[in-house]
Amino acid sequence: MCSLFYLMPPEYHASYLALRAYLNSLLSVSTDQAFSDIPAALRPNLSVFMEGKTEYRNSSEQRMIYAADLAAWAGDVVYGSGMAIALPLASLNEAELQAATSQITNS
């Protein structure tokens, strides 16, 4: 656990842990995902990361992100430069993150 975890107010611990679990699940994702399936609070940051990268639209015209790009983005957030756009932990929806993590790990 990073030292930042111990420095943040206790009310943000659950949000931080939900975010880490979600990002860690993306590190091994093997299927492309719709941009709309990414938790809402994380979409602006992913958009910045995806600038200049290839995306496509599925048969329903949903914006799709390649699994490899999702894993690279998650790795960058967790191990690299972090969030390109500041993300207050209070803005995270823990239930949405947990549902997205479950969707990835169960697919």
Instruction: Determine, yes or no, domain membership for 70.
Output: yes
Instruction: Determine, yes or no, domain membership for 93.
Output: yes
Q: Calculate the alpha carbon distances from 76 to 19, 59, 80 in Å.
A: 14, 29, 4
Owning domain of residue 70: 33-101
Rounded to whole angstroms, the Cα distance separating 6 from 65 reads: 33
Rounded to whole angstroms, the Cα distance separating 53 from 41 reads: 21
Instruction: Determine, yes or no, domain membership for 1.
Output: no
Q: Which carries the bigger pLDDT value, residue 46 or residue 11? A: 46
| Residues 39-94 pLDDT 10s | 999 999 999 999 999 999 999 999 999 999 999 999 998 888 777 666 677 778 88
Instruction: Determine, yes or no, domain membership for 27.
Output: no
pLDDT band of 11, cuts 50, 70, 90? confident
Instruction: Determine, yes or no, domain membership for 78.
Output: yes
Instruction: Determine, yes or no, domain membership for 74.
Output: yes
Number of domains composing the chain: 1
